[in-house]
Amino acid sequence: MTRHYRGIARTLLQYRALPEAIAVTAEWILRPYLAMKMLIAATIMFSSLKYSAARGLRIVEPYLSYYGLLNTTRALMFCIPYVGWNSGELLSANHSKVMNVTTDHLRAIDEDLATRHADLWNKTRMARELFSYRFPAMGLRGEIRDVMPNWEDVLSHARVVSEITQVNSECLEGACGHRKLPLDDPAMIEDVNTDALLRTFYYYQHKTSSIMDDDDYYRLGRIINKACSPQNIFHLATDGLVEDAFSSWDFAAK
């Protein structure tokens, strides 16, 4: 337990050491929002997995187990103070980098937790890749059944990672919550190219097309106007926001 408290104290110090620059403050107002979105995505995936498992629909298990854990892990990565934003490159970090960075962070808290994290990651990734590229005829029986972790164990671990993500975001607010964006000084905001930073959060560009997400744009605007300083995830995840996020996937209600 002492080591866990030391981990929190270390994270607080790392956040306090962040430069008091407008661009840095803007980044850390937005990163907890991104982490919150990843946790919502993971919740939707694990909820879908629970629903499917109850009805014997197991073909989705490898995919949803892996990506549910991946999104939870990405949420943690976005809330690690020493992981650089690098002009938005962090958004496209490959899966191996996400795993390596978060495993190292968890190792500083608890060695057994980090070992479990890497083990579940590797096993769920193996299953997802097998059924994405080779599709073994045995399905989820035989040796695959013995290797692939139970999805409820993956969910249990994802909850722990989510709690650590929330604690990290509380450390952020505790260390940097007094820093505010000077919204009343447009010249200073424009100086650090805040629009370009915001654009990375609501504008999605792929090889063949690009999409602007009006929901992201609206929510980010509300967050910045309501409290233009870093906040923890729990404060960002209002009932209305969470309900709206889930309603986007409730096609029966449309």
Q: Is the dihedral of CA 62, 216, 250, 38 positive or negative?
A: positive
Q: Say yes or no to pLDDT of 243 above 80.
A: yes
Q: Is the dihedral of CA 194, 26, 201, 129 positive or negative?
A: positive
pLDDT band of residue 157 (cuts 50, 70, 90) is: very high
| Tokens 């009932």 -> residue | 239
pLDDT band of residue 147 (cuts 50, 70, 90) is: confident
> Measuring CA to CA, how many Å separate 92 from each of 74, 78, 125, 193, 205?
10, 12, 18, 20, 11
Percentage of residues in the chain having pLDDT higher than 70:
90
**Helix crossing, 151-176 with 111-129: angle to 10°?**
130
User: pLDDT of 81-118, one tens digit each?
Assistant: 999 998 888 988 999 999 999 999 999 999 999 999 99
User: pLDDT of 13-26, one tens digit each?
Assistant: 999 999 988 888 88
Helices within 108-191 (DSSP H only): 111-129, 142-147, 151-176, 186-191
Q: Which of 2, 184, 1, 7 is nearest to 81 (CA)?
A: 7
Q: Say yes or no to pLDDT of 65 above 60.
A: yes
- Predicted TM-score (pTM) of this structure: 0.90
Residue 185: what pLDDT?
64
Residue 28: what pLDDT?
93
